[in-house]
Every structure is written in structure tokens, then in C-alpha cells.
Amino acid sequence: NGYELLRDYAKGFRIGAATNTIHYSNSNYIEAMKSFNYMVAENGCKFVSIQGTKGKFNFNDCDNHLKKAKELGMAFRGHALIWHAMAPQWIEHEDSNTMKQSIINHVTTVLKHYEGKIDAWDVVNEAIDDGSNGNGWKFRNSFLYQKVPDFIDIAFKTAREVSPNTKLFYNDYNTEAIWAKSESVYQFVADMKKRNIPIDGVGLQYHVGINVQPQFNKIDNLISRYCKLGVEVHITELDVSCDDNCNDYDGGEGKQSQVYTNALKACLNNSCCTGFLVWGIGDNDSWRGAENKPLLFDSNYKPKGQYNTILNILKNT
Ligand code: G3I
């Protein structure tokens, strides 16, 4: 396809992307996917995709992602078991006890279905409040928290019980050493470890822009503190909006590439950072909007400057 593949220089490091089965009929999309050795479903493995109707598990979309990953020789990351968003309507209206059972049942059934096929899952997604100020943390006041205040502990304990070999992650945004929330999430993860809640890793989503970007020293330091806690780190959903400076995007030397560079170098600099995933393949498919040119491939699935930036870092590591 005329360009070098990231995976060929990854040397065992997991470099991945979120994909979506709605694009699988596009051969250019599939070609671009082949650059990566790791995959996550953008939407297909979420609660509502799998259990839209209570008790009726529909694994089709998630299975189709996994099938493609296998076909292309990619490892697969699970996203996400318990999240207040993309949860089916039916669970929101349950009473506390019933909801608790539904959480346990979903975690159990999904993990059993994918036993031995998906080695890391986001068990809980985005449960810390955005206003958390770095001095302790506040839980997001979601329907989950209101009805089952200990849903996080329950989800992780259940996951460990049913699937002891799966790596269990907590995943959240604004966790990349810019906002005060990132310190709060660190403290929350440290507290889970202290209380022996079985957590193996933390996902830093990394949805950022060129105007407010994590500094290398800060993100490197944060990741190293997670390593000292004894958890793994994945950068799980990286995309970089070019904000109001979109002509600076494709040279591979602009501010966008700088964000990609800092993120990847900080991850590679810390041995517990074992996965690095971008949130989508081509700009046109991104939830941030094609005009923000946030990804590594353009809307025709041609690699951009940022792609070469990432490629060169992997080559030289
Ligand atoms: O499936 C329905 C379809 O039946 C309906 O016709 C259509 C009409 O709008 O909506 C479809 O659902 C959409 C779904 O994606 C699947 O395409 C939702 O409206 C839409 O809100 C949803 O957006 C996704 C969002 O998560 C919510 O799940 C984005 O594609 C996805 O990129 C985004 O990803 C999240 C991560 O999971 C967690 N971290 C933040 C990240 C960005 O928001």
C-alpha cells in the first residue's frame, strides 16, 4: 500500500486503533487498519450493543470486530463493561438490588463469552466527576452511583472472580496530567489498590487538542507514578483536535505531531505503559469531526504527517 506499517516497528509494543464494523466494507479502511497490531471496538462491545434487551445477549457486533482482529493478526482490547453512557434504558429504571444483579450478570456473561480471547477490558468507564479538584475525588453522580454506590468495587471483584487472567482496567478522560481531575483519578486508583480491589491497569483516554496539551515531563511523571503503584497504563483513545490552527496539521512537525510525540515517548519511557491506541482510523470517521483532523490517517485513509512522526519514534526506539 506504499507506506511502512507501524506494527512492523512496534517490537512487541501494542500500537492500536479503535475501529467500527460500519467501515469494514471499505478496502482502504482495512488497509489502514493493517498498520496496527491492537484493536478496540469504538462502539461494538458496549453494554447497549451487547445487552440492549435485558437478558438477551447479542454478541454479533463485538464478535465481528474480534473476528477481523484475528484475521489481521491483531490483539484485542475490550471496551467497556460498565459505563453510565451507552447503557440500555432498561437498566436505568431498575431498583438498587436488581441493578446490582444486572451489573454482576453483564460482567459475568461478557467476560465468560470472551474468555481467552480478550486479555484486557475496561471494566468501568468514566466514573469520576469532572469537577474533582485533585484533593481526593468525587464520584460522578450517575444513575449507577445513585442506585449502587459501590458499583465499581462490585464490577472489578466480579470480573476478577469470573476471569482471573483478564487484565482489569479503569478508563477515563481528562486524566493526562493537564486537569486537576487527573490527580483525582490517580488517587482513586491508588485507593483501589490500597483496599485490594482487583485492578490491573488504568486507561488514559487522551482526547486533547493542540491548544491545551499535556507536557512531556508531566505525563511522563504521571505514568511513572502509576507504575510505582503497580498498575499498567494504556493510552486508550488518543486523538488531537487541531482546534483553530488546522493548517498546521499535516507536516509532521506541527503542534499536533508534538502531542502525538509526547504521548508516545512518555508511554515508551515507562515499562508499565503497555498499550497505545488512537480513537479511530481516518479523520472523517472521528467523533471529533473531520474538520479537526484529529487522527493519523486523512479522510481517504492516506497516512498524514503525524503517522510518520509515530513511525519514526517506533523505528528509533
Ligand atoms: O446505534 C445508533 C443507531 O441505531 C442510530 O440510528 C444512530 C442515530 O444517531 O445512533 C447510533 O448510536 C450512536 C453510536 O455512536 C453508534 O454509532 C450514538 O448516537 C452516538 O452517540 C455514539 O457515539 C459514540 C460515543 O462514544 C457514545 O458511545 C462514538 O461513536 C464513540 O466514538 C464514543 O467513544 C467514547 C468512548 O466510548 C469513551 N470515551 C469517550 C469517547 C468519545 O466520546
Asked if residue 117 belongs to a domain, the reply is yes
Active site residue 237: yes
CA 75 / ligand 1 centre spacing (Å)? 23
What was the pLDDT predicted at 1? Answer: 73
Residue 14 lies in a domain: yes
Ligand 1 site, residue 86, Cβ cutoff 6 A: yes
Q: What average pLDDT values come out for the chain (317 residues) when binned by 10 residues?
A: 94 98 98 98 98 98 98 98 98 98 98 97 98 98 98 99 98 97 98 98 96 92 98 98 72 82 97 98 96 94 94 97
Per DSSP bridges, beta strands 273-278 and 232-241 are: parallel
Task: Look up residue 302 and give its amino acid.
Answer: K
Considering the domain boundaries, does residue 1 fall inside one?
A: no
CATH number for the domain harbouring residue 81: 3.20.20.80
The x, y and z cell numbers of residue 2, run together, are 506504499
In this structure, the residue with its CA closest to atom 34 of ligand 1 is 42
Alpha helices in the chain (DSSP H): 27-33, 47-50, 60-71, 89-92, 96-113, 143-147, 151-162, 180-194, 216-229, 255-268, 305-315
Residue 101 lies in a domain: yes
Distance separating alpha carbons of residues 125 and 9, to the nearest angstrom: 31
- The DSSP element (H or E) to which 172 belongs, if any, is strand 167-172
Distance of alpha carbon 309 from alpha carbon 154, whole angstroms = 41
Instruction: State the sign of the Cα–Cα–Cα–Cα dihedral 109, 113, 119, 122.
Output: negative
Which pLDDT value is given to residue 251?
A: 60
How far apart are the CA of 251 and the centre of ligand 1, in A? 30
- Decide if 295 contacts 273 (C-beta within 8 A): no
- Does residue 214 contact residue 178 with C-beta atoms inside 8 Å? yes
Cell of 105: 450478570
Helices then strands, each counted (H, E), the chain:
11, 10
Nearest CA to ligand 1 atom 26: 43
Cα angle: 70, vertex 121, 39; to 5 degrees:
35
Buried b (16+ CB within 10 A) or exposed e, 187-211: bbbbebeeeebbbbbbbbbbbbbbe
E strand or H helix that includes residue 274: strand 273-278
Question: 168: closest CA among 111, 223, 130, 113?
Answer: 111
Query: 251: which residues sit within 8 A by CB, 6+ positions away?
Result: 257, 305
| Residue identifier of the C-alpha nearest atom 13 of ligand 1 | 43
**CA nearest to 121, candidates 158, 71, 94:** 158
Catalytic residue among 115, 176, 237, 291: 237
- Domain of residue 136: give its range: 6-315
> In angstroms, what is the span from residue 85 Cα to ligand 1's centroid?
9
Q: Is 287 in the pocket of ligand 1 (CB under 6 A)?
A: yes
Angle at 291 between CA 290 and CA 293, to 5 degrees: 65
Backbone phi, then psi, for 167, in 5-degree steps? -80, 130
SS3 59: coil
- Dig out the grid coordinates for 208 from the structure: 486533547
Q: Which atom of ligand 1 is nearest to the CA of 205?
A: 39
Give the pLDDT of residue 253.
66
Residue 275 CB-density burial (10 A; 0-12 exposed, 13-18 middle, 19+ buried): buried
Residue 105 lies in a domain: yes
Q: Which DSSP state fits 128?
A: B
CA of 273 to the centre of ligand 1 (A): 27
Cis omega (within 30 of 0) for bond into 80: yes
Domain count, the chain: 1
